[in-house]
Amino acid sequence: MPKIVDHEQRRREVADGVLKIIAESGVTAVTFRNLSTATGWPVGVLNHYFAHRRDLLLSALTRAAELSAERQRALTVSLTGREALEAVLDQELPMDSERIAMSRIFLFFYAEAVNDEEAREIVMKYLRRWRRRVTLSVEEAQEVGEIDADLDARDVAADLIAYNEGLGLHMLLDPDVMSRAVKSPPTPTWVRRLSAQYSKSRSLSAE
């Protein structure tokens, strides 16, 4: 009886191999030859699933979005309120090899997505999902009194994500920033300062 091959699972495994290469050597190191070495599959098998190098990178982008969603779901099952908010934000920072790969592939495609509809669709789906998750976490923290309930959760979420992405970029570029962030994650400070800033602005406008 012929062996049944789960082609979707095979594609995910190849995408995981691409992310592993990206984590270790960057996006430019992704080639069919390097992927064959990393996964142990012949180039001919890889070509059966992916016709071009761009297809490999798009598969890694899609896989990174899936892994991010899976991690965030797990975090919000076990954590609530502000603790969940901080964990969800930290999840997107390049703090380990998997998240380094995810950050690199997203940053690579942010520029590509400006003129590439296929890449843009994947990136925007990821961003919408992340914004929604952070907004929900802000709202949950507001419900239990950990963040001012009068603040606009979407505004707070948008600013937290902007800080997060900026730090993630600097972490990838500057080893000193990476070292400081890993040693002392800044997310709790961001949440406190941003909440205080919004509250102060609201108070001043009321005067």
pTM of the predicted structure, to 2 decimals: 0.82
Residue 1 lies in a domain: no
122 located within any domain = yes
In a domain, 161, yes or no: yes
- For the chain, the first-to-last Cα distance in angstroms comes to 79
CATH number (domain holding residue 91): 1.10.357.10
Residues 117-160 have pLDDT tens digits of 888 999 999 999 999 999 999 999 999 888 888 889 999 999 99
The answer to whether residue 173 is domain-embedded is yes
d(CA 140, CA 79): 11
Residue 197: band (very low, low, confident or very high) from pLDDT cuts 50, 70, 90? low
Q: List the domain range (segments joined by +) for residue 169.
A: 7-206
Residue 56 one-letter amino acid: L
